[in-house]
Amino acid sequence: MQKQLQFERIAQAIEYIQQNFKDQPNLDEVAAHVHLSPAHFQRLFTEWAGTSPKKFLQFISLQHAKKILEHDHSILDATFDTGLSSSSRLHDLFIQIEGMTPAEYKNGGAQLVIEYRFAETLFGQVFIASTQKGICAITFADHKDLALQQLVAKFPNAQFVEGENDLQNNALSAFNVHVNSHEQALPKIKLHLKGTDFQLKVWESLLKIPAGQLVSYGDLAEQIGNAKASRAVGTAIGSNPVAFLIPCHRVIQATGALGEYHWGRHRKTAMIGWEVGHCYE
């Protein structure tokens, strides 16, 4: 089954589980909702998530999220200060952010040539775009026309060309690497982003959150040296132009609630559950 269709079924199942969480729907009920037999659904879900629907349900529960937050808080200082965990080291070495200069986005990006295309991933179709220096956008593209229109609005005078290149392929490879894989499995990924100094600082901090771990908005604000800036941090996270690679999905509410997500709450849940499941299995 192609990735897009597979994720659509998974997303429907996750949304149903979230809506009926208090009733703890069983395998037969969830499978019926997505119009599959229990055996087929179990096989499809396990193939995608790396764990059973039952365990996945545990991984995305409020109680489990709270447990991760409490456990991770004690090691976050070391993670942010040294980047010694394998996941952090991977991101520090292989995902590099370069902020655009004022000249590069002056006059609506008139000096920029932006190459773009659409691709399928584990979490749905994405719109990916790059300048000569690096990736400038990755967004989940449930509506193709809208994804392109939003980037054109950001750089109205740039030259847009549909096409594929190595910068894009390197970035897309991150969606296909097991979260516990050795860092050598990933090529270097370069990001070329338009943002304020504060936004760039928040986005760079997000790269240091290892896969399978979660932080609260307050924790992240504290790590960037401004404990009272959790609201501003939340705004910067909401402006993240590079989905998944800059892992804003790993930031949740202090209560353990996963919270909303620019590209859909079901997708955030899917990414957290997929990462936590692979780390705990």
Question: What would the two tokens of residue 186 be?
Answer: 């990933």
94 and 224 within one domain:
yes
CATH of the domain at 53: 1.10.10.60
Could you give the residue ranges of the DSSP H alpha helices within 181-264?
197-206, 217-223, 230-238
| Tally of domains in the chain | 2
Range of the domain at 17: 3-59
Q: What residue has token string 């590079």?
A: 242
Give dist(CA 252, CA 260) in Å, integer: 9
97 and 78 within one domain:
yes
pLDDT for res 90:
43
16 and 83 within one domain:
no
Block mean pLDDT (10 aa), the chain, length 281: 76 86 84 93 90 85 84 56 44 78 91 96 95 97 90 96 96 74 66 95 90 89 85 94 95 90 91 84 57
160 and 102 within one domain:
yes
pLDDT for res 182:
47
CATH of the domain at 175: 1.10.10.10
Q: Is 248 annotated as catalytic?
A: yes
pLDDT for res 183:
46
Classify burial at 196, counting beta carbons within 10 Å of its beta carbon; exposed 0-12, middle 13-18, buried 19 or more.
exposed
Classify burial at 5, counting beta carbons within 10 Å of its beta carbon; exposed 0-12, middle 13-18, buried 19 or more.
exposed
Give dist(CA 5, CA 10) in Å, integer: 9
CA 37 to centroid of chain Cα atoms: 30
220 and 245 within one domain:
yes
For residue 100, give the nearest of 199, 200, 194 by alpha carbon.
Answer: 194
Q: Is 205 left (phi over 0), alpha (psi -120 to 50) or beta?
A: alpha
Catalytic residue among 68, 119, 189, 248: 248
182 and 204 within one domain:
yes
111 and 9 within one domain:
no
221 and 147 within one domain:
yes
234 and 182 within one domain:
yes
